[in-house]
Chains A and B, each alone.
Chain A
């Protein structure tokens, strides 16, 4: 009974993670940095704790508009949970370095270089082409490569959540070992990631699309091609990596290739978030494992805390909502508003309401001074 409860909880929470992953846009194949053999009976609880760490970290970085890697958040969360739940020796550190850390450094550099060269090439080839023609031509190219990025993202990222759910189903004896993910798992994971991208992606898009460097259409087409090629090539050869990091690398590289001004401050903030993602999510995952280890009561307490954390973060994000209407109005994602919204987000739907309030206020003031 209690095992079934934990399994169902893991499935639901894994789908929530998939949803926040859609917020982020990232990728990584579920590699095996964790030696699962030693912790079969408690795998479900530990996986749950790891997912909670990953979700909280995903939401925090999303709030700040930082495109950090959901894959690294998941790895970090799981590593932290395993360390606390099963001991330091259960983590395979060598695999973490060779399959997670090293590709995380190399891949964005490769994508950035490819994008820089491709952007320079695109501008060179179309140098004498009237800008009206090249702009509209590359606009189609950009739309196409963007959908290719989505394909690359979906092929590697949906699998991560499916992997977690299937792992838990197998170790709990609800599914025969050696079988693939159930169709409903595939469907649910796809739906969750799609819904997440649809509802929360705008915040990250502002940073990637505007924050680092202004993107022209040839640049967009080139960086999309670089991102797709790098992710698909490395996923095919067994490196799982983060779509987020690769895409950021290509956008930065394409800016360099065009000779545009790069806002290095934003790039630096992103790099710091990447560095913090593994340890940050690991700490949250480890703390969650302390709770999840205490049977059903612990799991319920953990879920309650997760719900509170999600609600608080969501409420703070409402202060500066970013939607399809205002995503390109500004380059920065403001978290704790000190700037009046009119300066940052001219199309904010709440402005009309606020203007109404201000009118009422000034009227009141007039009354006062008259009295």
Chain B
């Protein structure tokens, strides 16, 4: 019986890394956008922090788009 352990290992690593990267970017975005909102409520400057927050969310979106591009053969 031939079992492709290497492929199973790749699946495991890719799944775990992709999940962690996506969730870290999403959580970071939520954290900084919230920080900016709190700062704005106290009438501090918040533009920089908010930009960082949205950049995180944008990166999370890019990760997803990259994943979709990888799995759809018609796009290559």
A interface residues with partner B (beta carbon < 8 Å): 94, 97-98, 102-103, 106-107, 110-111, 113-115, 117-119, 121-122, 125-126, 128-130, 133-134, 137-138, 141, 148, 155, 218, 221-222, 225-226, 229-230, 232-239
Contact = CB atoms under 8 A, between A and B. Distances in A.
A137 B20 contact: no
Contacts of A114: 15-16, 19-20
A11 to B, nearest CB: 27
B23 A98 contact: no
Given A148-B64, A229-B14, 14 more contacts: A106-B12, A110-B12, A114-B19, A121-B24, A126-B31, A129-B34, A129-B35, A130-B38, A222-B23, A225-B19, A230-B15, A232-B71, A234-B15, A239-B8
Nearest to B24: A121
A133 B34 contact: yes
6 contacts: A113-B16, A118-B24, A121-B20, A225-B22, A238-B7, A239-B8
Main secondary structure of the interface of B (DSSP, over half): helix
A252 to B, nearest CB: 15
A222 B15 CA distance: 12
Interface in B23-37: 23-24, 26-31, 33-35, 37
A129 to B, nearest CB: 5
A146 B70 CA distance: 20
Contact of B23 (A130, A137, A225, A234): A225
B44 to A, nearest CB: 16
B15 A134 contact: no
A141 B26 contact: yes
Contacts of B38: 130
Contacts of B19: 114-115, 117-118, 222, 225-226, 229-230
A103 B10 CA distance: 13
B3 interface: yes
B22 to A, nearest CB: 5
A263 to B, nearest CB: 24
B11 interface: yes
B49 to A, nearest CB: 12
Contacts of B14: 229, 233
| Secondary structure dominating the interface of A | helix
B12 to A, nearest CB: 5
A133 B24 contact: no
A245 to B, nearest CB: 14
A110 B20 CA distance: 12
A98 B3 contact: yes
Contact of A126 (B4, B18, B27): B27
Given A98-B2, A110-B11, A221 B26 contact: yes
A222 to B, nearest CB: 5
B25 to A, nearest CB: 10
B8 A122 contact: no
Contact of B11 (A130, A133, A141, A234): A234
B11 A94 contact: no
Nearest to A222: B23
A237 B7 contact: yes
A138 to B, nearest CB: 7
B15 A229 contact: yes
A164 to B, nearest CB: 22
Nearest to B34: A133
A134 B2 contact: no
Nearest to A241: B11
Nearest to B2: A98
Nearest to A232: B71
A220 to B, nearest CB: 11
B14 to A, nearest CB: 4
Nearest to A136: B30
Contacts of B34: 126, 129-130, 133-134, 137
B27 to A, nearest CB: 4
Contacts of B70: 236
